[in-house]
Structure 1
């Protein structure tokens, strides 16, 4: 097995497989079998034998798979890598007129929201352009295919929620619209933010609910989306808690419609005119760049990917790995996978059993073994970007997806761990200081049909055990 020297040390010699008593007790209390749990635990300096169980078994990682995407991206793309959005034209404007279409080219910009789009168009308007004699061309060709979401079955029964967004190279407003939902005596009212011409909201079918406001989405039902002329009518369904107000980013209308109408609406508000006719196509090779928006550096974007476990941004980052390495006419996802496997090989981590899909962990197929994930973590701390990865990991009891876990424990404020949750898989992976201050590599994956409902206390007990070691 072609393991890195560090990983070989991690699993060699007198590694033990006995489950710590507190963890065994947590498994028993949850009614989960010990075989549902896999882990690799060892001081980063290798000064103690590894504690392992199912170390080489390929398991569903849930969002701990984001560690793979983040670690490889920091190394291969670099901490200052930035996505960008460009406005272009086939030729330079003359006399305040673009004699043809305006081109909006997506470059995997994670921050292209409404204010950013307004600023792009404002730059164009202040340069003197007023009239666009063609329509709008939307260029998503950085990734192949340009729309990975088209024709893909929904992951679950809530495709409209933001965690399910499958991004493309033009990630405008995260492909969602913000909706403000407000309880009324009869049920709820709704409006989009901002208001969009052609978008009609009908909340008359929503009923009052006795649920807590924080649980509003538990009584939400998928909206009925109907085309109406050049727009959409959204008939909201389900119920809404009394006295509640929520702002919900939802993926309810086609993203091409959203971005073209957003551009046209903002351009008109800026005093510009644009001829009809909008298409999705590649920009000409010699197109002239008129304005540019740059997203935040990768090291900053990864805070959202890791601390908030943002699936869409993780997928966008994974696709950028592919876009950097893609061969002519090659799909982007296989190129991203090739990049990750090459990184594993370069660090002498065996990739047998590793299954890659979209790099976010929101997948039924992605698999990684505890040993592989531990090897990646160990390699990350030997690399130049070690501080950057530590900085983006959630801190136990303080922030991100760990803010409510392990409070008032020895690990609080010290352990830095990426969480993972699917219905049948939970995980924690990262770094846990023990009672003497020595940092441990920590990987724990639990796969079971009731993992999400019962598995977290087991993983937390394992963190507590490591944090108490001397």
Structure 2
């Protein structure tokens, strides 16, 4: 790119930054220069940047072109959730009963009901069960247990759904349901000596055999253990026990600890209930099955997760896909008609929110609300409008507090260090194989805050990341 063209591009963009009611249609010089070695054409970039107090000025490049937003889609989920559910809304898990407890015995089923609780882990479940023992004197669960996941529809959304990629067992790929027990994950300590691979679950709930005999030992660095790894196979046996068969390759002499989503979640919940209840001196007879809570059932114990505004911090700062999807379904559950798909209902709520804020939703494609999908589409203009509406609304400060800070934390902890944006720009990142994105708020040198959205969709999108960072630094310096 010639020096004359770089100067022209810089002057064009600086005119847009001067506060006059004009729009720059080309990237600024530093961004253009950083983009040059990437091989990414301008046609693959959607860009909007403007000061909050002058949204009709700034920069626009392919602003109305539909793009894959990757994880910047989480910003839409967060903004709508804050507005529609409220920053203090909380999911819960309940233990209910319709019958009476007599002499420490419950003859009707105990109900474990999931209400989108994001924080229900093993200790939380144990504490709820302990409350049954100590506060209610319950000892015998003679009627079995019903697990109620029906807040979300379908209640078992993971069944029969093709994996997003070849690693459905890893935490980022978990498809949540209303009973998100321990994130539907179990931790495994996996180790290999010179001849065999072994794996131990933690906690060990019993009834599970892990077979590593099919794994092939290879000479590979332990840090690259995922290379050659294949999803394990889980089978429920006739006696109710389970067998997990590890598959693929594993490095000799390697030891790792990894949380995996490899067991049927209903089976795992049942094993956890039986062992935790037994550890408290209780007995459980009858089956553990899926079902619905009976009318009139009373709450015996309850666990609640953190307020939504706090849950959104890992969603935005760490880009937690499973948590984003759970919150998206909570949006849907808040407005769903009987039997309506929770994810579809959430999409309906988001579109209604767009209409309320007079944001054109033409072309908007919604899927799971996390960006971990190939079909979601949004324009840079639409995403910028969402951020502007959030800033002007009641919950702008809550959103701002959730965003990664450039060079400081979250998914931006290693980016833009030593630039004018470090410690100042707050932005949601997005990364897929062929998509790179940033969306958020950038203060300039005069103290004006800018909304900036940059979406790159290209086979070489990752190579364009330095150019996107150069844009943020350039705006912060103006």
TM-score, normalised to structure 2's length? 0.91
Q: CA separation of 1:417/1:188 partners in 2, compared to 1, >3 Å: closer, same or farther?
A: farther
In the other structure, the counterpart of 1:408 is: 418
Equivalence for 1:5? none
Is the Cα–Cα contact under 8 Å of residues 424 and 449 in structure 1 kept in the other structure?
A: yes
> Does the Cα contact within 8 Å between 2:39 and 2:460 map onto a contact in 1?
no
Q: Pairwise mapping of residues 37-436 of structure 1 onto structure 2 (< 5 A)?
A: 37-46=45-54, 49-126=57-134, 127-186=136-195, 188-207=197-216, 211-229=220-238, 230-241=240-251, 244-436=254-446
Give the equivalent residue in structure 2 for 1:15: 23
1:29 has 2:37 as partner: yes
Q: 1:27 to 1:359 in 2, by over 3 A?
A: same
Q: SS of the residue aligned with 2:442? A: strand
Between the aligned partners of 2:448 and 2:100, the Cα distance in structure 1 is 60
Residues 1:468 and 2:465 aligned together: no
Q: CA deviation at 1:210?
A: 5.6
Aligned-pair CA distance for 1:188: 4.2
Q: Is the 8 A contact 2:74 2:369 kept in 1?
A: yes
Inter-partner Cα distance in structure 2 for 1:191 and 1:414 = 44
**C-alpha deviation, 1:250, in angstroms:** 0.8
**How far has the Cα of 1:133 moved from its partner?**
0.8
**Structure 1 residues 68 and 320: alpha-carbon distance in aligned structure 2, compared to 1, 3 A threshold:** same
Q: Which moved more, 1:24-33 or 1:365-374?
A: 24-33
Give CA deviations for 1:409-448 in whole Å, capped at 9, x if unaligned: 2211111111111112111101112223321101000001
Distance 1:203 1:304 in 2: 34
Tell me, yes or no, if the aligned pair for 1:180 and 1:191 is still in contact at 8 Å: yes
Instruction: Give unmatched runs, 5+ long, in structure 1.
Output: 1-11
Q: Is the 8 A contact 2:234 2:264 kept in 1?
A: no
Structure 1 Cα separation of the partners of residues 431 and 220 of structure 2? 24
Query: 1:7: which partner in 2?
Result: none
Alignment partners' CA distance in 1, 2:317 and 2:405: 8
In structure 2, runs of 5+ residues without a counterpart are: 1-19
Q: Which residue of 2 aligns with 1:9?
A: none
- Cα distance in 2 for residues equivalent to 1:43 and 1:122: 54
Classify the secondary structure of the residue corresponding to 1:222.
Answer: strand
- TM-superposed deviation, 1:353: 1.0
Q: 1:312 to 1:47 in 2, by over 3 A?
A: closer
Contact 1:62 1:426 in 2 (8 A): yes
Offset of residue 331 of structure 1: 2.2
CA distance in 1 between partners of 2:196 and 2:412 (Å): 34
| Distance (Å, rounded) in 1 between the aligned partners of 2:32 and 2:405 | 25
Aligned length: 458
Query: Contact (CA 8 Å) 1:63, 1:419: kept in 2 or not?
Result: yes
Distance 1:242 1:48, change over 3 A: farther
| 1:206 CA displacement | 4.1
Cα shift at 1:187: 5.8
Q: Distance in 1 between matches of 2:307 and 2:218?
A: 43
Quick one: distance in 2 between partners of 1:182 and 1:412?
Answer: 41
CA distance in 2, matches of 1:468, 1:436: 9
Q: Using structure 1 for the length normalisation, give the TM-score.
A: 0.93
Distance 1:456 1:102 in 2: 53
Partner Cα separation in structure 2 for residue 262 and residue 197 of structure 1? 9
Q: Distance in 2 between matches of 1:352 and 1:139?
A: 38
CA contact (8 A) 1:187 1:239 kept: no
1:209 to 1:24, Cα distance in 2 relative to 1, 3 A: farther
Q: Tell me how far apart the structure 1 counterparts of residues 222 and 398 of structure 2 sit (CA, whole Å).
A: 36
Deviation of 1:402 (Å): 1.1
How big is the shift at 1:347?
1.1
The CA distance in 2 between the partners of 1:401 and 1:424, in whole Å, is 18
Q: Which piece of structure 1 moves more, 282-291 or 13-22?
A: 13-22
CA distance in 2, matches of 1:73, 1:348: 18
Equivalent residue of 2:446, what SS?
Answer: coil
What is the deviation of 1:17?
Answer: 0.8
Deviations along 1:155-209, one digit per CA (max 9) or x if unpaired, are: 1111111111111110111111111223534464321110121111223444555
